[in-house]
A and B are shown apart, each in its own frame.
Chain A
């Protein structure tokens, strides 16, 4: 599987080694980190929950699509589940390829699609004691607006762009 979950900290060193290829001229990666604020709230920690069977299937489909769409050598995505503290890495994407352009493009494609399609949920805990499931609580407050699971999460990132 080119998409997997881990309860423990993501080992980027060993993940990167899975992408090594003598035909590759380089490698691009993306790391999503737990940020201390979101939408004006002070975030203290996060919980990630996943529907793992389907998430791994869908995540692997996304990476496979990236390998078809871009002329790259290897690609891999690893996502954390469970509780995470500020500054910890929530997600890692790595791509190796002959040339840098498609490595960046494939990396961007994978992280964007993962955010939109893979059944993973994020609960933010705030300094004021509140907590909330990202993208779900606002939807609940506005049940009549149409929902495509796609555009909603853009302003709600806990990881930097």
Chain B
């Protein structure tokens, strides 16, 4: 059996009751979080849809997007996921909650690289309690009937479903990546944290390349103008530019001639070196 193609599904049908306003419309860096999640998924997969309830199809934040309207009964995110699986029974779904302001391209790229189509789903472990994070995961076609049976048995929690069905669970790339925002206080905190974590203006970084990556980039060094906030984001950008054959998981990274975390905040003028698998001796 061939591997199912992956489409994107942004969950934006929640009631936002603790936020006192529509979560999908919350703004980060001049973009609604629904648009942000939609664009982020669109950088990874060919088609992206927004999951909505029947009464949201004319809503201004959502109406201009391709929609998948809930087609099964029940409450909670499982309804949206089941509706997508029913609409395209041969596709797998990159399911994303729209309220994950710290999500990055690197997190999705890693998820898709590690996806196991033989499992019902591939998802991250929570950095806080180690349990599955169902709303940033890839749900395979075979999850459809299993979810239907789970709901028929009275289940409604996608996290419990993943625990029970032995989903593939990945370690999170960084602690905050999947933190969600449910209250006005959390939103205010997220805005401050994002302002501190991300450069809105492009900065210049000094990049040096060695060995296989030097040959693939066709240069041994360059100055790159970028908005990448971390080495992980920078690798995503340069990987796309030069078509490096090595995945990020195969590399280490150094900043200013010392090994670094992938999630370190980069500063203008930093010297970055990606380190392919070594072979001294």
- CA of A152 to CA of B259, assembled, Å: 20
CB of B212 within 8 A of CB of A120, answer no
- CA of A54 to CA of B208, assembled, Å: 13
CB of B278 within 8 A of CB of A149, answer yes
**Shortest Cβ distance from B268 into chain A, in angstroms?**
20
- CA of A143 to CA of B109, assembled, Å: 13
Query: A157 — nearest CB in chain B belongs to which residue?
Result: B281
- CA of A134 to CA of B277, assembled, Å: 8
Interface residues on B, range: 20 to 34
Q: Which residues from A are CB-within-8-Å of B258?
A: 54, 57
Interface residues on A, range: 35 or more
The digit string for A101-129, where 1 denotes a CB below 8 A from any CB of B, is: 00000000001001111111111000000
- CA of A120 to CA of B211, assembled, Å: 9
Chain A interface main SS type: mixed
- Most A CB contacts (10 A, CB to CB) among B114, B245, B280 go to B280
Q: Which residues from A are CB-within-8-Å of B278?
A: 115-121, 135, 149, 153
- Most A CB contacts (10 A, CB to CB) among B211, B259, B276 go to B211
CB of B249 within 8 A of CB of A51, answer no
- CA of A152 to CA of B280, assembled, Å: 12
With A143-B247, A143-B250, A147-B250 given, is the CB distance from A153 to B259 under 8 Å? Answer: no
Query: B245 — nearest CB in chain A belongs to which residue?
Result: A140
Q: Give chain B interface residues in 249-269, CB to chain A under 8 Å.
A: 249-250, 252, 254, 257-259
CB of B254 within 8 A of CB of A51, answer yes
- CA of A41 to CA of B280, assembled, Å: 19
Q: Which residues from A are CB-within-8-Å of B113?
A: 143-144
Q: Which residues from A are CB-within-8-Å of B254?
A: 51, 54, 119
With A120-B278, A139-B277, A159-B281 given, is the CB distance from A54 to B250 under 8 Å? Answer: no
10 further contact pairs, Cβ within 8 A, besides A90-B281, A119-B273? A51-B254, A54-B257, A114-B280, A115-B279, A122-B280, A139-B246, A143-B113, A144-B114, A146-B249, A159-B281
Chain A residues proximal to chain B, CB less than 8 Å: 32, 48-51, 53-55, 57-58, 79, 90-91, 111, 114-123, 133-137, 139-140, 143-144, 146-147, 149, 152-153, 156-157, 159
Provide 6 A-B residue pairs closer than 8 Å at the C-beta atoms, listed in order of the A residue: A115-B278, A116-B278, A119-B273, A135-B278, A143-B246, A147-B249
